[in-house]
Amino acid sequence: MNNESPVDYRFSFGPWNISEGADPFGPEIREAYPHEKKFVLYKKLGFNGVQFHDDDVVPGIDDLTPAQVEQQTAAVKKILDDEGLLAEFVAPRLWFAPQTVDGGYTSNSATDREYAWKRTQQSIDIARGLNSKGLVLWLAREGTYIREAKNAREAYDRLLETVNRILDYDSEIEVWIEPKPNEPTDQAYVPTIGHAIALSYASKCPDRVKGLIESAHAMLAGLDASDEMAFALAHGKLASVHLNDQNGLKYDQDKNFGSTNLRAAFNQVRVLEENGYGRNGEFIGLDVKAMRTQAGVPVTAHLENSRRIFLHLVEKVRTWDRNRESELRAARDYEALELAVMEHLLGVA
Ligand code: GLO
Ligand code: MG
């Protein structure tokens, strides 16, 4: 526990969180809300950070010249400045293009790997143009559908080589690895924060290689998100979070934060608070999906509500009786400790 003044949290989300509701079984059911119009929504919803994919900033990036990319980046930077928003990070969207159908950095094809590297360089340039120091690598297709498809050992070498190349390309950029165990691949090469942190320590500049933990991704790996966060925090490597929720081991649901397991959400907030997360400007990022059933354009209730649940849980953490917790830990009376947590959450204690 630190005794400094409480963190005044700031929040971020990505434009993809305002969606048209498509799922694998049905097409869009809401009209698209123009991308450029999303920026004016942020502040009203209580957010001041924007998470970006490279092509959220520069649509059609593959067909543009470096000068055009720079120009478009500057135009988005101006919008952010005008709205009083900050770019939290930029992530190369390496899971859409035909060149990355079998992964980018770990593809067996040298041409595809070169394409992935080009997109990565462009993303770093964009991040620099937006004054963001974070490059998020969600290694979506860096894995396999069948184990024999790639040489896993070589794939890890290639991932490390990529991280080192990024560190060489820009002396300030930080690599924030967002682990996820599966989906879209059957098995990913960087499934947990432990794997990401191992890559960090193996890299040429561990101080600039960190992690972004998404609650649902940890749960999909069968792990507790708060423990995953604690692990990253213990190494000084929790650069960002994607808070959300997940109802069991199924597809990645991106449910509202705390909506499935309030106690697990409380524990994530508790760990973040106990370790002073946010004190160095880290954002509370949300990666939540609007329900397909939700009407209206644009849909934003899921963002507002997840933020609200987070803030309620901050209150719950700040009013949690730490002395009682210590006593019950010392007495090893975990039955009583559990009841105390449950009653605190229920508001009956
Ligand atoms: C999908 C990921 C995705 C990333 C985003 C930023 O499962 O969570 O939403 O967070 O693309 O890289
Ligand atoms: Mg995410």
Note the residue count of the chain. 349
8 Å CB contact between 158 and 118: no
User: Can you give the pLDDT at residue 3?
Assistant: 61
- Confidence (pLDDT) at 307: 98
In a domain, 36, yes or no: yes
Pick the more confident residue, 4 or 66.
66
- Minimum CA distance residue for ligand 1 atom 5: 138
Report yes or no on 274 lying in a domain.
yes
The mean pLDDT value for 305-333 works out to 98
∠ CA 125-127-132, nearest 5°, is 145
Instruction: Give the closest ligand to the alpha carbon of residue 56.
Output: 1
**Closest CA to ligand 1's atom 2:** 138
CA distance 299 to 291: 9
Q: What spacing in Å lies between the alpha carbon of 168 and ligand 1's midpoint?
A: 25
- What pLDDT score does 200 carry? 99
Q: Does residue 288 have a pLDDT over 60?
A: yes
- The answer as to whether 86 is a domain residue is yes
DSSP classification of residue 160: H
Mean pLDDT of 159-172: 98
Q: Which residue, by CA, sits nearest to atom 4 of ligand 1?
A: 138
Beta bridge partners of residue 187, listed in sequence order: 144
Q: For this structure, is 23 an active site residue?
A: no
Q: Note down the domain range covering 262.
A: 11-299
Mean pLDDT of 9-25: 97
Of 176, 178, 193, the residue with max ligand 1 atoms within 8 A of its CB, to mutate for a pocket test, comes to: 178
pTM score, whole prediction: 0.97
The answer to whether 35 is a known catalytic residue is no
Question: At 340, which helix (H) or strand (E)?
Answer: helix 334-346
What is the average pLDDT across 14-24?
96
Residue 272 is predicted with a pLDDT of 98
Strand partners, 177: 137, 211
CA atoms of 67 and 76, how far apart (whole Å) = 14
Question: Does pLDDT of 195 surpass 90?
Answer: yes
What DSSP letter does each residue of 117-147 carry, written as one string?
HHHHHHHHHHHHHTT--EEEEE-TTSEESSG
- Any domain includes 318: no
Residue entry with tokens 């079984």:
25
* pLDDT at res. 322: 98
Does residue 166 fall inside a structural domain?
yes
Measured in Å, residue 312 CA sits from the centre of ligand 1 at: 25
What confidence category does residue 2 fall into, taking pLDDT thresholds of 50, 70 and 90?
low
Best probe residue, ligand 1, of 100, 136, 137, 138 (max atoms within 8 Å of C-beta): 138
- Structural domain includes residue 328: no
CATH number of the domain where residue 44 is located: 3.20.20.150
Convert the pLDDT of each residue in 176-192 to its tens digit.
999 999 999 999 999 99
Pick the ligand that lies closest to the CA of residue 177: 1
Ligand lying closest to the C-alpha of residue 14? 1
Q: How confident is the model at residue 46 (pLDDT cuts 50, 70, 90)?
A: very high
pLDDT at 1 over 80: no
Instruction: Return the residue whose CA atom lies nearest to atom 3 of ligand 1.
Output: 138
Instruction: Dig out the tokens for 168 from the structure.
Output: 């060489």
pLDDT of residue 349: 76
Tokens of 224: 């507790």
Nearest to 306 by CA among 47, 33, 113, 97: 47
| pLDDT value at 323 more than 60 | yes
* Domains contained in the chain, number: 1
For ligand 1, pick from 287, 288, 289, 303 the residue to mutate: most ligand atoms within 8 Å of CB.
Answer: 287
Query: Percent of the chain beyond pLDDT 70?
Result: 99
Average per-residue pLDDT for the chain: 97
**pLDDT of 105:** 98
User: How does 294-321 read in b/e, with b if 16+ C-beta sit within 10 Å?
Assistant: beeebbbebbebbbebbeebbebbeebe
Which residues lie below 8 Å from residue 89, measured CB to CB, with a gap of 6+? 51, 52, 127, 132, 134, 135, 136, 176, 212, 240
Name which of 261, 223, 227 is nearest 244 in CA terms: 261
Whether residue 342 is contained in a domain is answered as no
Q: Does residue 27 belong to any structural domain of this protein?
A: yes
Calculate the dihedral angle through the C-alpha atoms of 111, 114, 116, 120, rounding to the nearest 10 degrees.
Answer: -170
Which atom of ligand 1 has the smallest separation from the CA of 137?
12
**C-alpha to C-alpha distance for 46 and 308, rounded to whole angstroms:** 9
Q: Which distant-in-sequence residues (6+ apart) come within 8 Å of 283 by Cβ?
A: 10, 11, 12, 49, 88, 240, 241
pLDDT at 66 over 60: yes
Mean pLDDT along residues 7-33: 97
